[in-house]
Amino acid sequence: MITVKKPVQKIISDISKNLGIDEKFVKEKLKDLIVPVERNLYVESNKCIRCELCYEMCPVDAIKEPSVKSPAEILPEKCVKCEICAKTCPVGAINVLEGRAKLEEDNVVYELKEIDVTHRKIRLVKHELDEESCIKCGICERFCPTSAITVEKRNSIDINLNLCMGCTACEKVCPKSAIKVENEMGEITAENEISLNNDTCINCMVCSEICPVGAIVYEDGLMKLDDKMCIFCGKCEKNCPVTAIAIKQKNM
């Protein structure tokens, strides 16, 4: 847990100056300030192995494709915080931070903590190396997270499949496409459950319009929810005008 304090008067002065609002009005509005818990995701660039799994699995195209020179990058304006990328990353390079702000005496207190996520399993099925195409450059060795690849530059390459996790990083960074990897991805553990109350629902279709994966549709006079398609981003719950949708943590 990281806690940061900032003087209220400094915040009031900044808001008043930037927006041209009287300080007394700003102070009144901040009196009962409590910012709801929000989650944000970020990539630890030094950990990213360029496997592209987060990029491939993101349901809303919110991740910039990585390259040998650049790690994956989350695009905040597109991200819906479903955490699929964090749960898919085979090396834990994507972190989830939970934060909130509250007013305590003369300070605004910001609290940040890192959230543990359950990672899906990845298993190697098949690994192929085209010896004739391979130039023994060593890039695959550089990004292999389990040290399964050993390269003597321009001379030899050795791959220990007992160490290989099937992350596909070597395939993605190979400049000659000399490596092909087939893996098996496990299911993402659903930690939440979602429900739609049709007795409360007014069929305004806001949920259907805002759902990024089309998990809610209007059929036969009712809104219907496909909980297997749902990525639990929470957009429908937050925007439903009659609170007919609820996302709750499962009883594990």
Percent of the chain with pLDDT over 90: 71
User: Residue 1: its pLDDT value, please?
Assistant: 61
pTM of the full structure: 0.80
pLDDT tier, 19 (very low <50, low <70, confident <90, very high otherwise)? confident
User: Residue 235: its pLDDT value, please?
Assistant: 94
The chain-wide mean pLDDT, for the chain, equals 90
8 Å CB contact between 11 and 30: yes
Let me know if the fold of 2-115 is the same as that of 122-185: yes
Among 3.40.50.1360, 3.40.50.11810, 3.40.1000.10, 3.30.70.20, what is the CATH number of 192-249?
A: 3.30.70.20
Q: Per-residue pLDDT tens for 154-169?
A: 999 999 999 999 999 9
Q: Where are the domains of the chain?
A: 2-115, 122-185, 192-249
Q: Quick one: average pLDDT of 85-90?
A: 96
Distances from the Cα of 82 to the Cα of 40, 134, 191, 213, angstroms? 10, 38, 11, 11
pLDDT, greater one: 66 or 104: 66
Angle between helix axes 23-30 and 8-19 (nearest 10 degrees) is 130
User: Residue 13: its pLDDT value, please?
Assistant: 83
Q: Per-residue pLDDT tens for 66-81?
A: 999 999 999 999 999 9
- Determine the Cα–Cα distance for residues 216 and 243; give it in Å rounded to an integer: 15
Closest C-alpha to 127, from 89, 164, 176, 172 = 164
The domain made up of 2-115 has a fold known as Alpha-Beta Plaits (3.30.70)
Q: Quick one: average pLDDT of 25-42?
A: 72
- Please say if the pLDDT value at position 15 is more than 60: yes
Q: Per-residue pLDDT tens for 221-237?
A: 999 999 899 999 999 99
- Determine the Cα–Cα distance for residues 37 and 111; give it in Å rounded to an integer: 9
Distances from the Cα of 226 to the Cα of 36, 58, 81, 135, 195, angstroms? 28, 18, 19, 48, 10
8 Å CB contact between 109 and 3: yes
The domain made up of 122-185 has a fold known as Alpha-Beta Plaits (3.30.70)
